[in-house]
Structure 1
Amino acid sequence: MITSKQRSYLRSLANTIQPIFQIGKGGIEEAFLKQVDSALEARELIKIKVLNNSGLTSREASDIICNELNCEGIQSIGSKLVIYKRSKKKPKIKLP
């Protein structure tokens, strides 16, 4: 669990990054989760866009992904969500 100060810091880092994944009509499948997990291991902080035809809100998608991958939902605004998971091998982001 991260504190509100750490969450705020991660939100500020996420402002400049672009979404690297999209959730479409296929929804959230096992292959998608594996790709997100490997991206989290490499980057620690990623942004995902939820398309209208997915049938999910960004909050619902964030909750599903975070439950499956044991990561932290940082932000969910409009159709975008930001998630964070500390890298096991080489942590890059130093939390305050």
Structure 2
Amino acid sequence: MTDQKLSTQEILALKAQAHHLHPVVMVGQQGLTEAVIKETDAALTAHELIKVRVFGDDRAERIAICEALCEAVDAQLVQHIGKLLVLWRKNLEA
């Protein structure tokens, strides 16, 4: 698990970078499936910074999905606005 927390400056910089991004992963009615986790992991490996759209109107459920997804792929939440999540994970291979 990533122990390093992002600083305020790093979070602000990542938010600025993420502004123009489009969601690359969608979490649908089935919720957090193995396929969603694999797709998120692959996207983070390729891009480090991604947007994820979580469908569903239950805010508490979206937050739970966000926390579970971050833990599953070892990512950090940069921003959560409505149904959009911005996730970041340092690419160790780079």
Q: Which letter does structure 1 place at the counterpart of 2:77?
A: G
Deviations 1:14-66 (CA, angstroms, capped at 9, x unpaired):
11000111111111112211111011000000001111278832x32221111
C-alpha distance in 2 between matches for 1:7 and 1:14: 10
* TM-score normalised over the length of structure 2: 0.86
Equivalent position of 1:35 in the other structure = 39
Equivalent position of 1:2 in the other structure = 6
Structure 1 segment 1-96 matched on structure 2, within 5 A: 1-52=5-56, 56-57=61-62, 59-90=63-94
* TM-score normalised over the length of structure 1: 0.84
Helix, strand or coil at the partner of 2:23: coil
Helix, strand or coil at the partner of 1:87: coil
Q: Which letter does structure 2 place at the counterpart of 1:43?
A: H
Sequence identity, in percent?
A: 26
CA RMSD of aligned residues (A): 1.7
Aligned length: 89
Distance change in 2, residues 1:73/1:4 (3 Å):
same
Q: Which letter does structure 1 place at the counterpart of 2:76?
A: E
* Stretches of 4+ aligned residues off by more than 6 angstroms: none
Q: Which segments of 5 or more consecutive residues in structure 2 lack a partner in the other structure?
A: none
